Structure 1
Amino acid sequence: MTRVLLKGGHSSERLGVDLLFEGGVPREIPSKSDSTNLSPKHGSGCILSAAIASNLAHGKHLFEACQEAKHYIEKRLSSNEHLLAYHVE
């Protein structure tokens, strides 16, 4: 059983909606912010995967871990207009 997180950041159909496939069944993870106003950042994929791994290590289920990581990375992408993200709350 393979699990896949398909990022929707560049989707022309549903901008910002990610899909988590578990057992072939897709579950949507919508954006909490306006995805058109997010600045591209260096390392955003690495930040996302690290946030998912951290959430899983804290005992969260995969869907919740991906959902929380997505919201975390959205905050980082909107933190400033430069290529580096700020990680302070």
Structure 2
Amino acid sequence: VEPYNATLSIHQLVENSDETFCIDNEALYEICMRTLKLSNPSYGDLNHLVSAVMSGVTTCLRFPGQLNSDLRKLAVNMVPFPR
């Protein structure tokens, strides 16, 4: 199902979004099994891992400090060919 979802949604993502984070479930399973030592990770475990990563990515957007930024700066630094 995942390849179909990715294939069918790519046109809408290209046309309607400025930033997209692609997440590979298989890679998340490997991280949970090898790094976190979970024998049988659930989708809840995968979601927790993704939420921790996204929280880290957006920390500079949510808290003041020297590394303070905004979504535009994040897009400028992350998107090599903006539309």
Shared fold, TM over 0.5? no
TM range (shorter): 0.3 to 0.5
Who wins on radius of gyration, i.e. which is larger? 2
Higher strand residue share = 1
Higher helix residue share = 2
TM-score (norm 1): 0.33
TM-score (norm 2): 0.35
Structure with the bigger RCO (C-alpha within 8 Å, sep 6+) is 1
